């Protein structure tokens, strides 16, 4: 019996009980649809988490000066001034895996513009700061290397600061006073929202770190160096290069420990991604339970079908159908059921994910992998759950099958 005939007779047999075939397929449809939708939602979650992490800036390393120790009392990070501007410049010059650096200085205080005032923090940075943080200026300009070198009294406002100091007017080219030092506003940053800890990242003023150090900061030393590696893969390389460079510059012997600390964000990112991946796998496994139930439905219906069609099997055997002919016939029927269910389920799952993302504003991604996976799964279910009934049919004795009422 060739495959076309088997397919035709399989479709015909399924057509005879349209409702029953449909309900049987429904199990697979729901199962496959659920698996696809769950994988799509999981992928979406992974994407959102990655988005949020990269909003902190990508490939970031932070270099802090070491802690000082007086007797037995350790004073905490940054209490000694082992990190200098020269160190920062050396990192920029001599570490090939480093893309950008921004020495950091911090200050804070009351800021006055016209008759309004606002307490906020002032972050001293290099001109590359926005590159590292993946941040943008919404309007106006950012200060240049020239401004940094000259320690110009210019600044860029975060959205929250701009809204509070200039609720109705354009802040560009206006003067503000930060602790009585006049600064010219040259730009306003794009809104960045809250960070992972719930802090408002837009409540900030950026200024050249040289200006902050010389005019505002209580200490003349940089607090940290913000570094971005060339790529994610280069983060450990950059870390190593900075470590070696600083140990050399600080003349640290091999038996002494570092007088600085380097931290990176990839650890956090990796952990968060792993968490969402586990969630995705969990969701998909729950969904695949319904696929299993669907498969059992197919087996059930095929068993009923074999019993109902015992006479047909007898007739076919009496005119020369061999065991494998009967086996193939029923196996193909089960496969047609499960694959049709699978295809409809894929269509449903894909469109369902789209509905979810448009209604819930949640990004969903249907991958080719998830489609192939569910298709393969429904194929396997057809074979697995179809085999037993088909085998049962093929093992019938022709004379018993013919006599069956």
Binding region for another protein (CB under 8 A):
1-2, 4-5, 12, 16, 311-312, 314-325, 398-399, 402
Structure tokens at 226: 């913000």
Tokens 């971005």 correspond to: 228
C-beta separation of 389 from 305 below 8 A:
yes
What is the 3-state composition of the chain as percent helix, strand, coil, each rounded to the nearest 5? 55, 20, 25
Is 12 or 240 the residue whose CB approaches another protein more closely?
12
d(CA 299, CA 390): 10
d(CA 300, CA 305): 9
Mention every residue, 6+ apart, whose C-beta is less than 8 A from residue 88.
101, 103, 222, 225
Is 12 or 149 the residue whose CB approaches another protein more closely?
12
Is 286 or 399 the residue whose CB approaches another protein more closely?
399
Instruction: Report which secondary-structure segment, H or E, holds 337.
Output: helix 323-360
Structure tokens at 287: 């969904």
Is 21 or 364 the residue whose CB approaches another protein more closely?
21
CB of 304 to another protein, least distance (A): 17
Is 4 or 180 the residue whose CB approaches another protein more closely?
4
CB of 294 to another protein, least distance (A): 27
CB of 393 to another protein, least distance (A): 14
CB of 325 to another protein, least distance (A): 6
Please state, as a whole number, how many other Cβ atoms lie within 10 Å of the Cβ of residue 13. Answer: 19
Is 8 or 281 the residue whose CB approaches another protein more closely?
8
CB of 398 to another protein, least distance (A): 5
CB of 300 to another protein, least distance (A): 23
Give the bridge partners for 116, in sequence order. Answer: 113
């Amino acid at each position: 019996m060739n495959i076309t005939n088997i397919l035709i007779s399989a479709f015909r047999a399924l057509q005879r009980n349209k409702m029953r075939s449909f309900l049987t397929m429904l199990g697979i449809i729901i199962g496959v649809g659920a698996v696809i939708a769950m994988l799509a939602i999981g992928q979406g979650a992974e994407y959102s988490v990655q988005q949020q992490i990269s909003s902190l800036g990508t490939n970031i390393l932070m270099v802090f000066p070491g802690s000082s120790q007086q007797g037995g009392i350790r004073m905490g990070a940054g209490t000694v001034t082992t990190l200098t501007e020269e160190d920062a410049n050396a990192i920029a010059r001599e570490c090939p895996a480093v893309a950008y650096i921004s020495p950091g200085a911090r200050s804070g205080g009351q800021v006055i513009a016209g008759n309004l005032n606002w307490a906020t923090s002032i972050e001293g940075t290099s001109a590359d700061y926005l590159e590292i943080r993946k941040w943008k200026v919404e309007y106006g300009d950012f200060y240049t290397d020239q401004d940094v070198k000259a320690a110009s009294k210019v600044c860029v406002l975060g959205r929250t600061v701009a809204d509070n100091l200039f609720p109705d007017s354009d802040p560009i080219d206006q003067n503000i006073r930060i602790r009585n030092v006049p600064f010219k506003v040259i730009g306003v940053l794009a809104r960045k929202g809250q960070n992972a800890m719930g802090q408002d990242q837009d409540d900030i003023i950026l200024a050249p770190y040289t200006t902050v150090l010389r005019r505002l900061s209580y200490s003349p030393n940089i607090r940290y160096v913000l570094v971005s590696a060339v790529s994610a893969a280069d983060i450990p390389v950059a870390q190593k290069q900075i470590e070696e460079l600083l140990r050399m510059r600080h003349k640290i012997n091999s038996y002494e420990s570092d007088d600085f600390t380097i931290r990176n964000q990839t650890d956090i990112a990796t952990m968060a991604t792993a968490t969402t991946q586990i969630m995705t796998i969990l969701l998909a496994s729950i969904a695949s339970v319904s696929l299993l139930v669907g498969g059992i439905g197919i087996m059930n219906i095929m068993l009923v079908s074999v019993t109902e069609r015992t006479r047909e099997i007898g007739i076919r055997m009496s005119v020369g159908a061999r065991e494998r002919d009967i086996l193939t016939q029923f196996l193909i029927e089960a496969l047609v059921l499960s694959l049709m269910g699978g295809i409809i389920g894929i269509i449903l799952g894909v469109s369902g994910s789209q509905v979810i993302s448009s209604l819930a504003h949640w990004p969903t991604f249907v991958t080719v992998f998830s489609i192939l996976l569910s298709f393969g799964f429904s194929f396997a279910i057809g074979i697995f759950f179809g085999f037993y009934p088909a085998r049962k049919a093929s093992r019938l004795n022709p004379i018993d099958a013919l006599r069956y009422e």
